[in-house]
């Protein structure tokens, strides 16, 4: 095969054969297809799309580029969750131990944040001693003993995606439904879980800004999971305003621990329970009520065991920021809008996120929301609190928040869980 032929075929709107797809993904992973050739092919796919047959083959080739984890030594039924990414989306932190406390095993390979959305591993790394790297043997042992592992994916898992995602990130080729769906699902299928719940975010703070494209992405991913024998469902959930009252690393850990203690913000609790019910149903445990395990402390016990198993001290104080800056409400009334994207960018500029893969993140930086849409606010009263180690970061964070909130007469309340696909 010749890479230029493959690129020309897709550029001109043709269909790639199974053999062409297998070859190009494998050759790219080995370095035999050059980065600039794959970049051209990714752009052709973004503009021309993939047929369902091409997408299925493309995803299978990405899975076959590495190893598929074998979870047959795990005694409990396995269930995982993947979120397409949002602002203040700390749900994995309370959810994984909660579902484990209810009897399932949660094998969650997570990522670090890039851009305005936070990464689960960055959040957990704010806990002193906690390690994201877990060997395959320790992964299986922890699934059997604790029931939940949240850790970094090894280099052997879908290596084609590791290269391709980094390339897409710098070539304007992220925003393609077949490329996003095959990227996410190749990793999740290779991870070996028998069932999977997708949290597909919709709104300003999400990849997918409108419901039509979010639904298309959800249907595409559910189809791929099902075709590979993974019981897959998706919830379409709102990401027009941040989840909970914090966006940042240690700040979100603290909020998650409040949820595990039976408190926490209502929206975080609602989404955690909705996803837990879907995961338990996928694991054949539909008759277990996760609300009981939050109430009686079992989820908290599992959280402590999960953190300790990876070297973390669940009782250690978390880092706090040296500097704070308060943003006051501009008028009295009801907070009608607090934009998720703007808060995500502000948290990122305060140091909670990174601009390049190699950059460090600040554990303590972030944004605390002192009011949420629907709340009554008084002119001049604190609305947001910005946390940073370095006060020179406040100015750019404040610029991101320009126009991000509105105070008016009344707020319309949109549902958090918009729909279910699967």
Residues that bind ligand URA (CB under 6 A): 165, 174, 179-180, 183-184
The CA distance from 347 to 343, in Å, is 6
CA dist list (Å): 357 to 111, 115, 350: 11, 10, 17
The residue number with the shortest CB distance to ligand URA is: 183
Minimum CB separation from ligand URA for residue 123, in Å?
17
For residue 187, indicate whether it is catalytic.
yes
Among 81, 82, 215, 393, the one annotated catalytic:
82
- Closest approach, Cβ 161 to ligand URA, in A, equals 7
User: Is there a contact between 193 and 210 (Cβ–Cβ < 8 Å)?
Assistant: no
Nearer to ligand URA (CB atom), residue 181 or residue 338: 181
Residue 176 beta carbon to ligand URA: minimum distance, rounded to whole angstroms: 8
The residue among 251, 211, 252 whose CA lies nearest residue 89 is 252
Tell whether the torsion through CA atoms of 328, 334, 337 and 338 is positive or negative. positive
- Which of 183, 193, 195, 256 does the annotation list as catalytic? 183
The least distance separating ligand URA from the CB of residue 297, rounded to whole angstroms, comes to 34
CA distance 230 to 71: 13
Catalytic residue, from 57, 90, 116, 168: name it.
168
126 neighbors 85 (Cβ within 8 angstroms): no
325 belongs to the catalytic site: no
Instruction: CB nearer to ligand URA: give 17 or 171.
Output: 171
Q: Which of these, 139, 94, 141, 380, lies nearest to 252 by C-alpha position?
A: 94
228 is catalytic: no
Question: How many whole angstroms separate alpha carbon 135 and alpha carbon 128?
Answer: 20
For this structure, is 82 an active site residue?
A: yes
Is 161 in the active site?
yes
CB of 395 to ligand URA, least distance (A): 30
Q: By three-state DSSP, how is residue 273 classified?
A: helix
Closer residue to ligand URA in complex, CB, 180/274:
180
The CA-to-CA distance between both ends of the chain, in Å, stands at 38
- Closer CB to ligand URA, residue 179 or residue 346? 179
Q: Which of 81, 162, 187, 201 is catalytic?
A: 187
User: In terms of CB distance, is 134 or 179 closer to ligand URA?
Assistant: 179
Give catalytic residues, as residue numbers.
82, 161, 168, 183, 187
């Amino acid at each position: 095969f010749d890479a230029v032929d493959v690129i020309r075929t897709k550029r001109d709107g043709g269909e790639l054969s199974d053999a062409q797809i297998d070859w190009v993904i494998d050759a790219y992973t080995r370095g035999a297809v050059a980065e600039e050739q794959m970049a051209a092919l990714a752009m052709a796919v973004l503009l021309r799309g993939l047929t369902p047959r091409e997408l299925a083959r493309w995803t299978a080739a990405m899975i076959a580029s590495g190893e598929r984890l074998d979870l047959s030594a795990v005694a409990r039924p396995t269930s995982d969750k993947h979120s397409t990414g949002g602002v203040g989306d700390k749900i994995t932190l309370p959810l994984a131990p909660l579902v484990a406390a209810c009897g399932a095993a949660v094998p969650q390979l997570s990522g670090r944040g890039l851009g305005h959305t936070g990464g689960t591993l960055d959040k957990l790394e704010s806990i002193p001693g906690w390690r994201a790297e877990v060997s395959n043997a320790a992964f299986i042992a922890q699934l059997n003993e604790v029931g939940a592992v949240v850790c970094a994916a090894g280099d052997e898992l879908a290596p084609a995606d590791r290269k391709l995602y980094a390339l897409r990130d710098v070539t304007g080729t992220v925003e393609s439904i077949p490329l996003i769906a095959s990227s996410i699902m190749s990793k999740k299928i290779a991870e070996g879980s028998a069932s999977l719940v997708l949290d597909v975010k919709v709104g300003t703070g999400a990849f997918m800004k409108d419901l039509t494209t979010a639904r298309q992405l959800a249907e595409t991913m559910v189809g791929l999971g099902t075709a590979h024998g993974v019981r897959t469902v998706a919830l379409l959930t709102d990401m027009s305003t941040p989840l909970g009252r914090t966006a940042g690393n240690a700040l979100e850990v603290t909020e998650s621990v409040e949820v595990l203690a039976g408190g926490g913000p209502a929206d975080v609790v609602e989404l955690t329970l909705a996803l837990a019910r879907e995961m338990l149903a996928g694991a054949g445990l539909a008759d277990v009520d996760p609300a009981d395990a939050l109430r009686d402390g079992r989820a908290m016990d599992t959280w402590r065991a999960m953190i300790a198993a990876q070297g973390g001290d669940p009782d250690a104080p978390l880092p706090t920021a040296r500097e704070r800056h308060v943003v006051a409400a501009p008028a009295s009334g009801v907070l009608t809008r607090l934009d998720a994207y703007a808060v995500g960018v502000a948290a990122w500029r305060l140091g909670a996120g990174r601009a390049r893969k190699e950059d460090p993140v600040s554990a303590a930086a972030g944004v605390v929301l002192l009011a949420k849409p629907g709340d009554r606010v008084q002119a001049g009263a604190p609305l947001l609190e910005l946390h940073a180690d370095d006060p020179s970061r406040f100015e750019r964070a404040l610029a991101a928040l320009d126009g991000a909130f509105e105070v008016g007469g009344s707020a319309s309340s949109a549902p958090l869980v918009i729909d279910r696909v699967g």
